[in-house]
Structure 1
Amino acid sequence: MTDSMEQQKAQASAWFRTLRDDIVAAFEGLEDSHDVGPFSDQPAGRFEVTETKRASDDGTDAGGGLMSVMRGGRVFEKVGVNVSTVFGTLGERAQAAMAARKGLPGMKDDPRFWASGISLVAHMQNPHCPAVHMNTRMFWTPYGWWFGGGSDLNPCLEYDEDTGHFHGVQKEHCDRHGDQHYPRLKEWADEYFYIPHRGRARGVGGIFLDDHNSGDWDTDFAFIQDIGKAFLPAFVPLIEKRRVDDFGDTEKHAQLVHRGLYAEYNLVYDRGTKFGLETGHDANAVLMSLPPMAKWV
């Protein structure tokens, strides 16, 4: 591995940690500023931060990260913001998946990997506030490197203006790198976050990409940074607007049913969930995305 690649990996890992810090601060700021409307009489929520470790078969250091979870706040019922940098060798199942998806049959001969990224899922107190998911990541093997990530909005009560704002901010950030990206990433998200056994999407979409390698690391890293930078301005204004809205049993029921849909997707289809569990990462961190309460009808 070249020194330049080591520097690039360190740069990517540091960026994901910076993005995590910015999001945690912004979310705690939302808790502090919510002083009118439902749940405003509760104590402001704060993140509990836990160090995570990746398990390795031989007991050697295999990396880890930070799991930051807030529960029972004024605005957030449960939100997790995880950041990690892990490394080691891929097991047989992960090797097979890598060979199938990326066309890397040589993984069997040299199954080393390195991965770093941030993953976020937020489930809100007020049903008028949409749930949201975001992640950005870098993955390396001896056969190449890739970036991936995106974010998608998951409201149980849909508002066209909210959907338009969320997509508009993401398009603005993608367009900084060429107007060809947003349409492709939006379509990719629509396909990726589709739930076949329900015959519907899990939300109103967003942007998604994976296995991204143009051959120019600096260009691709700048692109994935802008995907990450789009998240807060796309999401926070929606929460500031909707967190004061009144709701009743009908809206709460709709929220819990939609959370059941979200849980089904993450447990059955999500690549990140499968990869995290197959590579021995902390199961609590991997399954952080599951809602605190859900309902099936």
Structure 2
Amino acid sequence: MSNGFEAEKSAASAWFRSLRDEIVAAFEGLEDTHKADQPAGRFEVTETKRQSDDGSDAGGGLMSVMRGGRVFEKVGVNVSTVFGQLGPAAQKAMAARGVPGMADDPQFWASGISLVAHMQNPHAPAVHMNTRMFWTPHAWWFGGGSDLNPCIEYDADTAHFHAVQKAHLDPHDPALYPKLKSWADEYFYIPHRNRARGVGGIFMDDHCSGDWEADFKLTQDIGRAFLPAYLPLVEQRRDTPWDASDKDTQLVHRGLYAEYNLVYDRGTKFGLATGHDANAVLMSLPPLAKWV
């Protein structure tokens, strides 16, 4: 597999980068069209690097973060392509998930996009999206999805977000949407709070049907669903009047988001365990949060 998979790796990495470019442009467009006295927000782009234990190059990516915009209080859109050898703890974790051959050959390659948006207006929902491909000499798979995290919920917004996800999944298999929705409901749950962190979405992990092309197309459509699912909600809610009580509700809800990402999120744990840039791994954390 290692000799014949370079084209697939290259195609996946290029897709995640192109999706990143499209989303960054769309988010800056939201900033430009929002009426405000302050300048429109722009992404600050930083190259990230991962080093192996011996100090050699092990890939990297781009961290794109906008802070203090008209619409977005903080939003990050990261892409990365990293490779090397998994350490003992990561090997053990992969073996526990059923990945074969890690003890014999711990090489890995991973590429993906990760996005989290925290909004200025408490009525505009926060959101998370990521898709990724993972490869070892013995296996490959895709993962990811997107989920909506409003602090003030609107049933119409939730319905729209889910309807767009379903419309993009149904052409692949009508059974996919209910399966990935249930997976998201289970995954994006905070056990110590006995509640979900948001209103759900779709999620998959370790997805490998054996048909790489079909699985890649599914992953692409999960990414393509994001902007039409999310942008109309921001456009509708960004001008909604809000008060100090609404902001307080938003800050408390962000505390839940921070708890989940630091305690349960697989991507956070993997990124930190494998030596990726900590600022890039933790860019999902909100700029301000509150606990009561």
Instruction: Report if aligned partners of 1:55, 1:282 keep a CA contact under 8 Å in 2.
Output: no
Task: For 2:127, give the aligned amino acid.
Answer: V
The Cα of 1:142 is off from its aligned counterpart by: 1.0
Q: Secondary structure at the match of 2:5?
A: helix
Q: Does 1:55 align with 2:51?
A: yes
1:42 to partner: Cα distance: 1.4
Unaligned runs of 5+ in 1: none
Alpha carbons 1:121, 1:134 under 8 Å: kept: yes
Count of residues in Structure 1 that have an aligned counterpart in Structure 2: 292
Answering whether residue 96 of structure 2 is matched by residue 100 of structure 1, we say yes
- 1:87 aligned residue: 83
1:230 aligns to what? Answer: 225
1:56 Cα shift? Answer: 1.1
Corresponding position of 1:67: 63
- The answer as to whether partners of 2:2 and 2:137 remain within 8 angstroms in 1 is no
Counterpart in the other structure of 1:216: 211
The residue aligned with 2:172 is: 177
Residues 30-57 of structure 1: per-residue CA shift (max 9 Å, x gap): 000001xxxx221100000000001211
Please name the residue that 2:12 is paired with: 12
**Alpha-carbon distance between aligned partners in 1 of 2:61 and 2:209, rounded to the nearest angstrom:** 28
How do 1:135-214 residues align onto structure 2 when only pairs under 5 Å count? 135-214=130-209
2 CA distance for matches of 1:62 and 1:103? 21
Does the 8 Å contact 2:72/2:120 carry over to 1?
Answer: yes
Question: What secondary structure sits across from 1:102 in the alignment?
Answer: coil
Q: Is the contact made by 2:81 and 2:112 (CA closer than 8 Å) also made in structure 1?
A: yes
Q: Which residue, out of 251, 276, 288, partners 1:281?
A: 276
User: Is 1:296 paired with 2:285?
Assistant: no
Matched, 1:77 2:34: no
Partner AA of 2:60 in structure 1: G
Residues 99 and 139 of structure 2 are in contact (CA less than 8 Å); yes or no, is this contact kept in structure 1?
no
Q: Give the C-alpha shift of residue 102 in structure 1.
A: 2.2
| SS of residue paired to 2:37 | coil
User: Which residue does 2:266 correspond to in 1?
Assistant: 271
In the TM superposition, residue 176 of structure 1 has moved relative to its aligned partner by: 1.4
**Partner of 1:247 in structure 2?**
242
- Cα deviation for residue 150 of structure 1 reads 0.1
Deviation at 1:103, TM superposition (A): 4.5
Cα separation, 2, equivalents of 1:149 and 1:275: 14
Structure 1 residues 3 and 91, CA gap change in structure 2 (3 angstroms): closer
Q: 1:103, 1:276 → 2: CA distance? A: 18
Shift of 1:201: 0.2
Normalising by structure 2, what TM-score? 0.99
Q: Distance in 2 between matches of 1:108 and 1:293?
A: 42
Question: 1:3 Cα shift?
Answer: 4.8
Supply the AA of the counterpart residue of 2:24.
V
3-state SS of paired residue (2:142) = strand
In the TM superposition, what is the alpha-carbon distance from 1:4 to its structure 2 partner?
Answer: 3.8
| Distance across 2 between alignment mates of 1:42 and 1:160 | 31
Deviations 1:63-114 (A, max 9, x none): 000000000000000000000000000011110110111243x201100000
Deviations 1:262-282 (A, max 9, x none): 000000000000000000000
The answer to whether 1:32 aligns with 2:32 is: yes
- What secondary structure sits across from 1:107 in the alignment? coil
Partner in structure 2 of residue 128 of structure 1:
123
- For the aligned residues, what is the CA RMSD? 0.8
Distance, in Å, in 1 between the alignment partners of 2:4 and 2:18 is: 21
Gaps of 5+ in 2: none
Could you tell me whether the CA contact under 8 Å between 1:116 and 1:137 is conserved in 2?
A: yes
- 8 Å contact from structure 1 (residues 121, 132) kept in 2: yes
Task: Answer yes or no: is the 8 Å Cα contact 1:54–1:64 preserved in 2.
Answer: yes
Question: Sequence identity, in percent?
Answer: 78
* AA matched with 2:89: R
1:42 aligned partner: 38
Distance 1:55 1:201 in 2: 35
